[in-house]
Structure 1
Amino acid sequence: MANKVHEAVSGNLNTKLNKFYSRLTNTTYILLSIGSLIVSEVIFALAWEGGYEKSLLSFFAFVIFSYTAFNNYFFFKNLNNNNRNIKGGLIGGATVLLVILALLFSFAMTII
């Protein structure tokens, strides 16, 4: 019984996430990536200053990295499925570069 409830809840959550992320456009993914780059840069600045506990900054950096990886997963999933909201061409290439840059930069902040 518990497995059926878990499957129903997790399946419902997966469906809701797919519906939400399938409506996002290139612009939305660019804004999400810029947001995570800004937060990663703030974490880097706080670590550079040295006035904050390193474990706390590493925790926040890991949270931002996880969030960025989650967004990237759905971006590439929608790109692979030929989602009509994801455009190709120059804006598509720029989006791909920006989401990968955000992922790499947020990962670099986890090892500060």
Structure 2
Amino acid sequence: MKFSGVVLTDGNASSGYNRFFSVEEGLSAICFDKVFARDWTYPDTFEYYRRKRIKCAEVLVPDKIGFEYIKSAFAATKLAEYKLRGLSWPLPIEINPDIFFM
């Protein structure tokens, strides 16, 4: 994340309850255990929505990321992989439904 102007958020950037960080601050402040949790459900409604928001933490990069920096892609299903291949995607694709909201 050595691009100029990169910002990390501790939840979905469009939510009104997030904090925005420099890369260095964000790497220390973001709870990555919750971001990468397989399940964010919780019996308490407030905590459920808090965890769901955290699951959507973002890396915001101004302008664009050059294709030379992309090493692979994730797909939720075999069909999604097939569609991505149909766009002439040349790099590896890993099917991993756990990282998608489905």
User: TM-score under structure 1 normalisation?
Assistant: 0.32
Work out which structure has the larger RCO, using CA pairs closer than 8 Å and 6 or more positions apart in sequence: 1
Is the strand fraction higher in 1 or 2? 2
Q: Which has the higher helix share?
A: 1
TM-score, normalization by structure 2 = 0.35
